[in-house]
Amino acid sequence: AQTVTQSQPEMSVQEAETVTLSCTYDTSESDYYLFWYKQPPSRQMILVIRQEAYKQQNATENRFSVNFQKAAKSFSLKISDSQLGDAAMYFCAYTGNFGNEKLTFGTGTRLTIIP
Amino acid sequence: DTGVSQNPRHKITKRGQNVTFRCDPISEHNRLYWYRQTLGQGPEFLTYFQNEAQLEKSRLLSDRFSAERPKGSFSTLEIQRTEQGDSAMYLCASSRDRDPYEQYFGPGTRLTVT
């Protein structure tokens, strides 16, 4: 079974600084997708960024980028120029199921932005 | 897109009662997922529909749980004889065939069983 591990329950960063959230996963599949989702307090989950395992290039979405290390099964999220609106729970997620793209989530990292 | 909607947003019920939640996916999305999220945890997969067909159920979904998606539009999740352990946030997500990897989540229904 696939597992996703987020070892940082909480992180904090000064506004405008850069922070990196860690995620590791375990799978025996060669083709899969990885995601970072953001869940602001009392608001719905939003997809931040995704990475296809077959792509060597790391995904980037504006201030958000990932460091995907396939051999190490590591998938970290870097947030640059942190803003107050980035405060949220961040979940790393995996899917390797084609035809049923159900997501396996980690336990999340709560990110606090310090003004 | 008007987004995925879920009703009710909050439900408090007594142990042993039945509850039903509704999810309305984004209109052209034919894939629909239910997840359960307990405090301090990430969401866990419960069940998946493609159109009206329920294609997979997690073993987390005991026989007290049933989900339907008549006509491939909205979906309902019913819990019979609720237990305190059913207290959680129930999330619905939808996606479309041409991009099944982008799931759009609803705001969830928070269930409290007293």
Residue partners of A18: CB distance under 8 A and separation at least 6: A78, A79, A80, A81, A82
Flag whether pLDDT at A97 surpasses 70. Answer: no
Region B64-82 average pLDDT: 95
- Taking an 8 Å cut-off on Cβ atoms, the answer to whether B41 and A108 are in contact is yes
Region B62-79 average pLDDT: 94
A53 forms beta bridges with none
- Taking an 8 Å cut-off on Cβ atoms, the answer to whether A95 and B102 are in contact is no
What pLDDT is recorded for position A115? 95
pLDDT digit string, tens, across residues A30-77? 889 999 999 998 788 999 999 999 998 999 999 999 999 999 999 999
Chain B residues within 8 A of A55 when measuring between CB atoms: none
The answer, for B74 touching chain A at a CB cutoff of 8 Å, is no
What pLDDT is recorded for position A56? 86
What pLDDT is recorded for position A42? 79
Residue that wins the pLDDT comparison between A28 and B80: B80
Tokens of A63: 């201030």
The answer, for A110 touching chain B at a CB cutoff of 8 Å, is no
If pLDDT is split at 50, 70 and 90, which confidence band does B71 have?
A: confident
Q: Which residue has the tokens 């007290």?
A: B64
Q: How far apart are alpha carbons B85 and B63 in whole angstroms? A: 15
Q: Which residue has the tokens 């067909």?
A: B53
Lowest mean pLDDT among A19-28, A36-45, A103-112: A36-45
Q: How far apart are alpha carbons A55 and B3 in whole angstroms? A: 29
Flag whether pLDDT at A101 surpasses 90. Answer: no
- Taking an 8 Å cut-off on Cβ atoms, the answer to whether B33 and A102 are in contact is yes
For β-strands A33-39 and A88-95, DSSP reports them as antiparallel
Flag whether pLDDT at B102 surpasses 80. Answer: yes
Out of B42, B56, B106, name the one closest to residue A105 (CB): B42
